[in-house]
Structure 1
């Protein structure tokens, strides 16, 4: 299993931490993740709420590109219905060029009502907007003129002057088994964030199984990449509730969870978090691999967890044999 790091970039104004200092912390984490040998560092795109304060992952990752040389610079995810697809194609092609071909792009349709309201986009249109945007972006990345006639976008021979270094890896975020099957049939990779939707590890397994079935029918080479994001804290003892419990509670007490708060104990029992010492987390990771997960996106920085705890957890995680 490939190991990567993921940050939603949740921010807490009441804490003694400015936005600028948090950005500095994130950039430091990306460099540290490279030092520890992680494959990628993924940043979420969010808008209009402290749940996530990176509205443009491309900007933050461009800064990271100048201080790193090996680690993949990932987005989890670019919310396609909120953007003009040609602009997005240019911005992420530019990031790929700046980083020497290290872009790792996850794409999705978004799920937070306040973001759709803020952009004035009808959530009922999310599927068609997403499909059109992804088609336009992938065409733009070939460097050929894009001709497109759709419900939301019309282009007549527009060509991007910027293309990626090569063909960046791309994941499509899904929630339900039906969507996973559909993406698999397209021969694409998938990205799952189960704490936002899954009931337990069994539900995650159902989604992966549906994806594998679809991918097998696609005729695409290989098996496809299944990237799963989970809150992760690797401590020195199996019970890390005292260290990480308050941070998890603060994280889940957001707009996303205010109607469906799940406790620390519930998430641990459902195996939707990776909390414990290295031995316990290693066993949980083997369980994920058995389900067909091929990449872990470890969400290590959440709930204003102290930077020294985040870094210590990342270091212990890097020491786990994921094969």
Structure 2
């Protein structure tokens, strides 16, 4: 199995943006020291759910701050950026990191971002396949041209050329059947979100495999928190998570101006604690093993900043590295 951390740069009440981002960098360094395989950087705009607006930029910084660990984006929102520009940046990071970069992309939501950046709702909907295909063509090193309907431009070469194989590895975030099947038709593995339980993730993988056949490379996102007992871990997260989830989820604004119905933060926190490795080290080991068996996904990425307290985040990383990962066939290499 492979294990990584998801870095959401979540802003809890009372924490400055500087403190949040400093903690994100420290968490990535701690993950490398604890023996994790990778860290994945999230991207959000105009909201406290996450205060990193450019996953690619932060990924570049983290690649410079680490020496071994892979750094990925989870995700770069393709619907608000030009796909060739994203490919250029990904290829650059692939080159200067010696192949330690991995690109995750997604549609994003129907949020106001589409208006602010001028891409429009069609880029997220019918235009997403065109954006994805242009990205993949550019990641091969080109030449690439835009033949419309959304992108029209003459043939150009792309620099720099790919370093690690035909292109940096790409994974696609998928929360709908349409995106699962689009990724399958392109042979691209899935990034499955932390809101989904094992049965939902297994169904997405099975749908993907009906089109593309059996394949490795899918990534399952979860949340993790370690304490001495299950009760302590669950109680702590159920108290702290809503402080972030409440204002964070309320920050989503639809591009069409329609009201956005948010999840109840307390119920959502309880749901996350129930389906993910939250508990004693033994419970965390059991839940991670169970998820891998149920979904067929052996690459797990965990969000560990659920208390908003850097010291507790560091403790969970340390305990995962020392008391959980070695029992699952992972040898710390930090």
Same fold? TM cut 0.5? yes
Among residues 216, 228, 234, which one is paired with 2:220 in the alignment?
Answer: 228
Q: Structure 1's 277 and 34: CA in aligned 2 closer, same or farther, altered over 3 A? A: same
Among residues 235, 242, 254, which one is paired with 2:235 in the alignment?
Answer: 242
1:182-221 correspondence to structure 2 within 5 Å? 182-195=182-195, 198=196, 200-216=197-213
Matches of 1:263 and 1:27 in 2, distance apart? 27
The two structures, once aligned, show a CA RMSD in angstroms of 2.1
* 1:38 counterpart = 2:42: no
Matches of 1:118 and 1:25 in 2, distance apart? 28
Matches of 1:268 and 1:92 in 2, distance apart? 34
Q: Structure 1's 322 and 169: CA in aligned 2 closer, same or farther, altered over 3 A? A: farther
- Displacement of 1:122: 3.2
Partner of 2:112: 114
Note the alpha carbon deviations across 1:115-149, whole angstroms, 9 max, x for none.
Answer: 23433443344133322222222222233321220
Q: Structure 1's 129 and 208: CA in aligned 2 closer, same or farther, altered over 3 A? A: same
Matches of 2:223 and 2:54 in 1, distance apart? 22
Deviates most, 111-120 or 40-49: 111-120
Q: Structure 1's 101 and 153: CA in aligned 2 closer, same or farther, altered over 3 A? A: same
- Displacement of 1:178: 4.8
Matches of 1:154 and 1:256 in 2, distance apart? 36
Partner of 1:256: 249
Partner of 2:328: 322
Q: Structure 1's 66 and 179: CA in aligned 2 closer, same or farther, altered over 3 A? A: closer
Query: 1:78 touches 1:108 (CA, 8 Å); kept in 2?
Result: yes
Q: Structure 1's 247 and 171: CA in aligned 2 closer, same or farther, altered over 3 A? A: same
Partner of 1:219: none
Query: 2:237 touches 2:269 (CA, 8 Å); kept in 1?
Result: no
In structure 2, stretches of 5+ residues that fail to align are 251-260, 330-334
1:111-150 correspondence to structure 2 within 5 Å? 111-150=109-148
Note the alpha carbon deviations across 1:207-260, whole angstroms, 9 max, x for none.
Answer: 1221232221xxxxx713121111111222122133222221123213536622
TM-score, structure 1 normalization = 0.88
In structure 1, stretches of 5+ residues that fail to align are 217-221
* 1:169 counterpart = 2:169: yes
- Displacement of 1:284: 0.9
Matches of 2:123 and 2:134 in 1, distance apart? 17
Higher RCO by CA contacts (8 Å cutoff, separation 6 or greater): 2
